[in-house]
Structure 1
Amino acid sequence: MTDTMKREIEAQGVLLAQIQQDLARSADAVDPAKGRVFVGGCGDSAYAPRALSGVFEALGLSFAARSSMELAAFTTFRPDDTVILSSISGGTKRTVEAAETVRRAGGRVIAVTCNADSALAEVANQTIPLPYRPISRKTPHTLDYSVTLLALVELARSFAGQAQEATRPLIARLPELITATREAACPVVQGYDPDGKIFILGVGPDLGTAEYGAAKFQEAGGLLAIAAETENFVHGANFMLEAGDTVIALGGSAAGHRRAQQVVEALGYVEINRHLFPEDPGTAGDWLTAFRTVFEQTFVLQHACLGVSTRLSLRLEEPRAGRHGGLVHQSMQQRMMAG
Structure 2
Amino acid sequence: MTSIVSDAPIPATGLTLLAQEALPLLYQHRLMATSQLHQLLTPHTRRPVYLLRQLNLLRTLRLVDATSHRNGRMGRGELLWYITPRGVEVVERAGEVTARAYRISPEAAVSQLQQHTLAVVDTGVAFTRWARALGDECDPLDWQPELAHRIRDGAGDDAFLIPDSVLRYTRSTEDGRRQLLTFFVEVDRATMNVARLGKKLTAYARYAGYVPQSLPGRAAGSGVREAWRERYPAFPRLLIVFAGASVRTVQNRVNDLRALAAADARVSRTSTLTVGATTLELLRVHGPFAPIVTPIVGDPVPTDILVRGPGQ
Which TM-score band applies after superposition, normalised by the shorter structure?
A: under 0.3
TM-score (norm 1): 0.26
Relative contact order, higher structure (CA 8 A, sep 6+): 1
Normalising by structure 2, report the TM-score.
0.27
